[in-house]
Chain A
Amino acid sequence: MTQTPSAEPSPARALHAQGVTKRFGAITALSSGRISVGKGEIHALLGANGCGKSTLCKIIAGTVSRDGGTLEIDGRPADLKSPREAEALGVALFYQELSLVPQLSVADNIFLGHEPRNAAGFVDRRRLIADTEVLIARFSAVAGSGFAAGTNVSRLSPDQRQIVEILKVLARNPSIIIFDEATAALDKRQVDLFFSILRTLKAEGVAIIFISHRMDEVFEIADRITVMRNGETVAEYGAGEVDRDTVVHDMVGKLADHQREARPPRPAGETPRLVVSSVSGGRLRDVSFSVAPGEILGLGGLQGQGQSAILQGLFGAEPFARGEVSVDGRPVRLRRPADAIRAGLAYVSGDRGRDAALHGRSIFENIAAATLVSERRRFVWPSALKPRFEKAAAGLNTKYAGMEAPIGSLSGGNQQKIFIARWLATDASILLLDDPTKGIDLGAKGDFFELARDLAAKGTSIVFYASEDAELLGLCDRILVFNSGAVTAELSGDTRDAFHLTRAAYGETA
């Protein structure tokens, strides 16, 4: 018997998407997405952060509607209008940001929309629990404590939630499964078990798309690999016929070196403004670094590896369990945001809605919020503060009708500038930026980066996390790469480029 090499996709196509395009307002998330997966094939989808992998997956799963291109499922054109329709065709998606309802139990989440019913149409609770326990049993050895069918999802740890999302996908008995960064929070033993499940599914003929952080995983499990870059599919090969450097080069492209902006070299022997030593807690494992006055430090790596946790810890929103922080040589205790504000730290998040905006309040009140805390003000004379705020906001080239206009009347980018103005008015010496440009348009992004550079030039220290690599490379003097809550590489000088950043993010030493 002769074995044909695995270079060609298997003839039984489960899924074929071609020329898929998608825009969100001014942002082009996909310019030409293509992926083709055979039955019983594990297909890795790779690409730098923000290149459109999740968007392509959501289009296949019916959550996001495509603007153009074709999609075929089991050889038939599919025009999906909702996740429901995709599910009816056998497609199930593990959502990168999870699709679990925190208020519901593990069992309710896993079988949501597919509850076992008795003849009268009531939920058959006994079978619901029994079926859930059968599923949980597959992970029982590695799931940790407090993981039961009746537990509320809000009380589970991040890895346990990922396991629930995996089980929820499996419970649907799909014929096409997409795992969008399903192993992000899992440890080695959990990943091994997950892979053994993938191999079983593969043997059953299920088509699997697998997006992962880690090159090792990809080469361990994948049959074929598709690489995306800037919203476009740029390469496809069999996993056996390619090496890692080729894959990383395809992910990064030839543009890599042009993206790097010249930053003046840092003077040697500066005294650091912010020193973080051995902080741990939550997702973080023993993180240390320091930032000099006027320096822009980037936090890179794949999403959710602890970058936001560091920034929120520094801001006192999610205090560290262990470790020390000092500002200008003085140790500080950061147990709540007010501590951080008084120590001269400022925090701007991309989740404006959740973290920062005082909805329905005026621009004035939104700017004032931080000043009132940092100066321990109890009484406020608006007339005295207003000129100060107007000066801070004017420096940002922000368009607004007036200080009294509601915050909601501004575009996302201008809102973001108002939050920066909030901190400029407090004279913060350290600015923490937590993926600040999420969902704002390109022009506003440019202004925003201009502002950050100006502030750094005036001596403000900036710690910057971005989910898009190009932003990090464009702005930062130095980049720390995070993986699983620890710093795994530091890039500066010659190594501060897209190639090294991608390679380090995907788990290889830079």
Chain B
Amino acid sequence: MSALRDSLRGRVWLVTLAALVTLFLVNLALQPNLLTPNVLKSNLTVFLPLVLVAIGQTYVILGGDIDLSVGSIVALVNVVTVSVIAMTGGETGGILLGIAAGILTGLACGLFNGVLIAILRFQPIVTTFATGIIFGGLALRVLPTAGLPVPAGYWRTYAGNVLGIPTVLWIFVFALLAIAFIARRPFLTHLMATGGLRTAAFQTGLRVGPIRIGAYMLSGLFSAFAALCLTGETASGDPLMGRLLALSSISAVVLGGTALAGGRGSAFGSLLGALVIGMISNVIFFAAIPFEYQTLTTGLITLLALAGGVLVSRR
């Protein structure tokens, strides 16, 4: 038993994977057509934004910080993208320009957070809470009410296939590749050192400030990706989009075995954690639980999944 625990410690995501498989089987029992390509694809479409935001959030948390502004970044990127597309006309060039503007917006938001926290030494929770309000306010300024549809070329591509494979699956695979790419860069080790013991990282000669800013920019970037997906899904602009993403993404990160204290964990675990959160709402939906109990049950299952990880990682 202790040998098992030893090999599990540091790989809490195995527990998350087990939870995911369990939930998947339960879902399959409740919804026999789960394995048909269309249902799988629509599930993935629903889960993808949280998966992406949780990946970005992981890097911030690994560095010992936190980003509560991700939801507002998603909203801001969404309204910037749809506004730029609308301004440039709905041609392919305009769409690409809108996407680029959205990605730059996400990066800029991350840079702003990072500079406040890593250079000016503001406290991360309070700062990103406040910048979240600012980004949300900017989103309302850009697009006061929901609307402004995106051209069909955008959402058809998102809902359709590329080279015979669903676009959402492509994006999922690219997310996996991005995780693998980042995991092999020295940056990730430096980030984990920064989150693990900041004085040691500094004494070792790492540039702690730019490293933390880099993590916030990754979070902004992945939030932008999530916003572009949500834009494809809703096919319009909405300044109030992504309200719950901050806390859901943190839950996903913790479910995936990343320590909130920083220095330990993986983006792959967070990806699994995000899928677990998605599957929980699926199961709740298909289990025909009365509406007034759904939120309660979601909370209890999330707690249960968390407890599994805590039990194996605790000595």
A87 contacts B by Cβ under 8 Å: yes
Q: Which of the 9-residue segments A47-55, A99-107, A212-220 touches chain B?
A: A99-107
A99 touches B204 (CB 8 A): yes
B18 contacts A by Cβ under 8 Å: no
B189 touches A63 (CB 8 A): no
The interface size of chain B toward A, counting residues with CB under 8 Å, comes to 21
Chain B minimum-CB-distance residue to A83: B205
Q: Which of B186, B190, B205, B263 contacts A82 (CB 8 A)?
A: B205
Q: A74-118 vs B: 1/0 string, CB under 8 Å?
A: 000000001110010000010100111111100010001101010
B207 touches A84 (CB 8 A): yes
Complex Cα distance, B193 from A100, in Å, reads 9
Given A103-B192, A103-B196, CB of A112 within 8 Å of CB of B204: yes
Contacts of A115 in B (CB 8 A): 186, 189
- Which B199-237 residues have a C-beta within 8 angstroms of A? 199-207
Chain A minimum-CB-distance residue to B262: A103
A262 → chain B closest CB, angstroms: 42
Q: Which of A93, A103, A112, A152 contacts B190 (CB 8 A)?
A: A112
B185 touches A122 (CB 8 A): yes
B205 touches A113 (CB 8 A): yes
Complex Cα distance, B184 from A83, in Å, reads 25
Contacts of B149 in A (CB 8 A): none
Q: Which of A61, A83, A84, A103 contacts B263 (CB 8 A)?
A: A103
Contacts of B193 in A (CB 8 A): 101, 104, 108, 112
Complex Cα distance, B48 from A356, in Å, reads 44
Q: B16-53 vs A: 1/0 string, CB under 8 Å?
A: 00000000000000000000000000000000000000
Q: Tell me the interface secondary structure of chain A in the complex.
A: loop
B146 contacts A by Cβ under 8 Å: no
A442 contacts B by Cβ under 8 Å: no
Complex Cα distance, B192 from A102, in Å, reads 10
A121 touches B185 (CB 8 A): yes
A101 touches B203 (CB 8 A): no
B196 touches A112 (CB 8 A): no
Contacts of B201 in A (CB 8 A): 101, 112
B197 touches A113 (CB 8 A): no
B10 touches A152 (CB 8 A): yes
A123 contacts B by Cβ under 8 Å: yes
B264 contacts A by Cβ under 8 Å: yes
A100 touches B200 (CB 8 A): yes
Listed residue (B10, B196, B199, B205) with the most chain A CB atoms within 10 angstroms of its CB: B205
- Which B163-202 residues have a C-beta within 8 angstroms of A? 184-186, 189-190, 192-193, 196-197, 199-202
Contacts of B203 in A (CB 8 A): 61, 63, 83, 93, 95, 99
The interface size of chain A toward B, counting residues with CB under 8 Å, comes to 25
Contacts of B192 in A (CB 8 A): 101, 103-104
- Which A145-197 residues have a C-beta within 8 angstroms of B? 152, 168
Contacts of A82 in B (CB 8 A): 202, 205
- Which A437-469 residues have a C-beta within 8 angstroms of B? none
Contacts of A99 in B (CB 8 A): 199-200, 203-204
Complex Cα distance, B73 from A448, in Å, reads 51
Contacts of A101 in B (CB 8 A): 192-193, 196-197, 200-201, 263
B132 → chain A closest CB, angstroms: 22
Q: Which of B184, B202, B207 contacts A63 (CB 8 A)?
A: B202
B91 → chain A closest CB, angstroms: 36
Contacts of A123 in B (CB 8 A): 184-186, 189
A113 touches B185 (CB 8 A): no
A112 touches B206 (CB 8 A): yes
A177 → chain B closest CB, angstroms: 15
Chain B minimum-CB-distance residue to A100: B200
A50 → chain B closest CB, angstroms: 20
Contacts of A100 in B (CB 8 A): 197, 200
Complex Cα distance, B180 from A138, in Å, reads 34
Contacts of B205 in A (CB 8 A): 82-84, 87, 113
Contacts of B204 in A (CB 8 A): 83, 99, 112-113, 168
Chain B minimum-CB-distance residue to A112: B204
A422 → chain B closest CB, angstroms: 26
Complex Cα distance, B181 from A122, in Å, reads 8
Given A104-B196, A122-B184, CB of A113 within 8 Å of CB of B190: yes
Complex Cα distance, B206 from A168, in Å, reads 14
Q: Which of A98, A108, A121 contacts B189 (CB 8 A)?
A: A108
Complex Cα distance, B263 from A104, in Å, reads 8
Complex Cα distance, B283 from A102, in Å, reads 39
Contacts of A152 in B (CB 8 A): 10
Q: Which of B185, B196, B199, B207 contacts A102 (CB 8 A)?
A: B196
B34 → chain A closest CB, angstroms: 38
B307 → chain A closest CB, angstroms: 23
A83 touches B190 (CB 8 A): no
Q: Which of A83, A103, A104, A122 contacts B202 (CB 8 A)?
A: A83
Contacts of B207 in A (CB 8 A): 84
Complex Cα distance, B193 from A328, in Å, reads 48
Q: Which of B186, B190, B196 contacts A117 (CB 8 A)?
A: B186
Q: B233-249 vs A: 1/0 string, CB under 8 Å?
A: 00000000000000000
Contacts of B202 in A (CB 8 A): 63, 82-83
Interface residues of A (CB under 8 A from B): 61, 63, 82-84, 87, 93, 95, 98-104, 108, 112-113, 115, 117, 121-123, 152, 168
Given contacts A93-B203, A98-B200, A101-B200, 4 further A-B contacts (CB under 8 A): A83-B204, A101-B193, A101-B196, A113-B190
Between A and B, 26 residue pairs with Cβ closer than 8 Å are A61-B203, A82-B202, A82-B205, A83-B203, A87-B205, A93-B203, A98-B200, A99-B199, A101-B192, A101-B193, A101-B196, A101-B201, A102-B196, A102-B197, A102-B263, A104-B193, A108-B189, A112-B190, A112-B201, A112-B206, A113-B205, A115-B186, A122-B185, A123-B185, A123-B189, A168-B204
A-B pairs, 5 with minimum CB distance = A103-B263, A103-B196, A101-B196, A99-B203, A84-B205
